Amino acid sequence: MNKRCTCSVILLMVCFATTAVFAQEDFSATAVNLQAGKDPTKQAKVYVTKDKMRVESSQSNERGGAVIVNFSTQTSTILMPERKMYMEFAQNQGPAAQRMKGLFHIGDANDACADWQRISAKPGSKCRKVGSDTVNGRSTVKYEGTSDNGTVGYFWIDSKLHFPIKWQEPDRGGELQDIKEGSQPASLFEIPSDYQKFQMPAGMGNMQHPQ
């Protein structure tokens, strides 16, 4: 597997995967890295349709690649266009597996703490709703999450999309910009028919980080 391709896509993805949810509306957007000291042009294209999400690098100097997440089955698929191959992982396995455990389904954008505690948080973690806020002209509900080690982070859930459009932690942050509501092509969330499944070498089935 091409290391450069996989790392670039995964790193762009996990910057917001800790608060990803099921969307109520189909949409596309650009995920922008807002971490202090990092290149703000490091971006990813995001496509969402109900229970699936596709994230791909939009950098012209990166090789192609994408990750398709299926929130219903809790699986992720890494596409490698340069080799016409793909890799599949259970949600708790594969590159950036620990970060991916934060994917959770919000039943109510105004009451997200219960879902955050149930799936994303460890015992001793706390969550509270801060209140209504506006992010790039969109109505959101802001939440504060405190981990079991005292680290405080914030995430903003779009009231219409039921999806985080901004996230901020001490060591990373970002937001979704250029949000465009509307149906997304089904082909974006499917494995191309001419792709072959990458067979993981023996002993690497539980890989936790890109190699």
Report pLDDT digits (tens) over 93-129. 555 444 444 445 566 889 888 877 776 667 888 999 9
**With pLDDT > 90 as the criterion, what percentage of the chain qualifies?**
31
Mean pLDDT of 58-71: 70
Q: What is the pLDDT of residue 29?
A: 93
Q: What is the pLDDT of residue 50?
A: 84
Q: What is the pLDDT of residue 211?
A: 35
pLDDT at 183 over 90: yes
CATH of region 3-197, choose from 3.30.450.20, 3.90.480.20, 3.40.630.10, 2.50.20.10: 2.50.20.10
Question: How far apart (Å, rounded) are the C-alpha atoms in residues 122 and 89?
Answer: 23
Question: How far apart (Å, rounded) are the C-alpha atoms in residues 167 and 184?
Answer: 24
Mean pLDDT of 19-25: 61
Query: How is 152-171 classified by DSSP, letter by letter?
Result: EEEEEEETTT-SEEEEEETT
Task: Compare 29 and 164 and report the one with higher pLDDT.
Answer: 29
Token pair listed for 208: 């936790």
pTM (predicted TM-score): 0.77
Question: How far apart (Å, rounded) are the C-alpha atoms in residues 157 and 159?
Answer: 6
Question: How far apart (Å, rounded) are the C-alpha atoms in residues 148 and 28?
Answer: 33
Question: Which strands sit side by side in the sheet containing 43-49, from one edge to the other?
Answer: 126-135, 138-146, 152-158, 164-169, 172-181, 27-33, 43-49, 52-57, 66-70, 75-80, 85-90, 196-197
Side chain identity at 38, as an amino acid letter?
K
Q: Which of 50, 57, 153 is nearest to 99 (CA)?
A: 153
Question: How far apart (Å, rounded) are the C-alpha atoms in residues 102 and 200?
Answer: 25
Model confidence at 133, pLDDT cuts 50, 70, 90, reads very high
